[in-house]
Amino acid sequence: MTASWYCLCVDETASSQHGSRLGEFWAQAMGGRFRPKEEPDGFDEVAGPDGLVAVMVPVPEEKTVKHRVHFDLHVRTLTELTDRGATILRPQEETGFPWTVLQDPEGGEFCAFLKDTPPDLRLRDVIVDARDPETCAKWWAERFGVEADSDGTNPWWWIDRVPGMPFENLVFVPVPEPKTVKNRIHWDVKGTVEEFKDAGARVLWEMPRWVTMADPEGNEFCVFPPG
- The region of weakest confidence among 11-15, 100-104, 187-191 is 11-15
Beta bridge partners of 7: 188
When pLDDT is cut at 50, 70 and 90, the band that residue 40 belongs to is: confident
In the three-class reduction of DSSP (H, G, I as helix; E, B as strand; rest coil), residue 144 is classed as helix
Q: Which element (helix H / strand E) includes 198?
A: helix 193-198
The pLDDT of residue 130: 98
- CA 94 – CA 82 distance, rounded (Å): 18
Helices (H), 70-153: 79-82, 92-95, 133-144
Q: Do the Cβ atoms of 5 and 227 come closer than 8 Å?
A: no
pLDDT at 12 over 80: yes
- The DSSP call for residue 119 is -
State the Cα–Cα distance between residues 187 and 190, nearest whole angstrom: 10
- 20 falls in which pLDDT band (50, 70, 90)? confident
Task: Say what the pLDDT of residue 213 is.
Answer: 98
Band (pLDDT 50/70/90 cuts) for residue 6 is very high
Mean pLDDT of the region 139-161: 96
Domains and CATH numbers, the chain: 4-224 (3.10.180.10)
Average pLDDT, the chain: 95
- Tell me what the mean pLDDT of segment 30-56 comes to: 94
Q: What is the largest CA-CA distance in the chain?
A: 49
Question: Average pLDDT for residues 146-166, to the nearest whole number?
Answer: 95
pLDDT of residue 17: 52
Residue 97 contacts residue 139 (beta carbons within 8 Å): no
Q: How far apart are the first and last CA of the chain?
A: 14
Residue type, 149: D
Give the tens place of pLDDT for each residue, 79-110. 999 999 999 999 999 988 999 999 999 999 99
Note the pLDDT of residue 16: 56
pLDDT of 19 over the 80 cut: no
Q: What is the pLDDT of residue 2?
A: 84
pLDDT of residue 227: 78
